[in-house]
Homo-oligomer: A and B are copies of this chain.
């Protein structure tokens, strides 16, 4: 562990993020989360503890998982850092809060939020970094929701330099991309990893600012859309689009692969799985429908905060 980093204190902060979010979501939904605290000792070289909090069949949320975990391992999986493959197999400590919320109403978007901190013990020194972000996955798009979401993301980062939002926004578009579908997972947000460039204190402040922004970014969208009427066909489209979410998380998501590869707790890692999902052959939305608009107007990466709405270059 680095000399100046109080890992325990940091873990307490991460736990407080989980608590605040779960408390707010319980108030919103009206149903309580199940709290499943766990300790993992010495299986597959991984020890640690965590708290998996989950709400299923709520009033708003069909399945909502908010997980905290803090683990130490003997061998860092390759998936932990694509940019730092030389660190794989080193001892590591990792903590994170991760959530995916799957609302029942297809007009409320699914959301993902994560913050994480890693320390890797190399023979020479300890190397640490932060990661995190949030991204929105609507089934039915509303431009004002996308603008609101991205504006809150930008507001969270601007105090630390105007370069951060465009950088993290682009990283988000690149990361949450289904290569095999040539399709974005959702309308993006912000994503950062291997982040240490501002030094420990400021990098932590960035992470705190992102964490503080999550409820501001998401709750107003839920409030606006939760009374939107929907029918069976809307639910089917949601179930079908959730299939893309499953594909992304199981094929590409490094957090998921990191967890499964490092011998993590499967049910906690797979909190992100949607409750009800559907696959059908070669599904295409009908032309001139709300469903088609998702593909034409919302999924292609764009600068939501630029009034001209110009598409950004994607360098995937």
Contacts and interface: CB of A to CB of B under 8 A. Distances in A.
B279 A181 contact: no
A273 B243 contact: yes
A277 interface: yes
How many identical chains are in the complex? 2
A33 to B, nearest CB: 10
A247 interface: yes
Interface of A: 34, 36, 52, 54, 56, 63, 65, 179-181, 239, 243, 246-247, 250-251, 260, 266-267, 269-271, 273-282
A252 to B, nearest CB: 10
Contacts of A181: 266
A311 B274 CA distance: 35
Nearest to A55: B281
Nearest to A256: B251
B260 A282 contact: no
A279 B243 contact: no
Contacts of A180: 260, 266, 269
Contacts of A270: 247, 279
A274 B281 contact: no
A281 B271 contact: yes
Contact of A63 (B273, B279, B282): B279
A279 B271 CA distance: 9
Contacts of A279: 63, 270, 273-275, 277
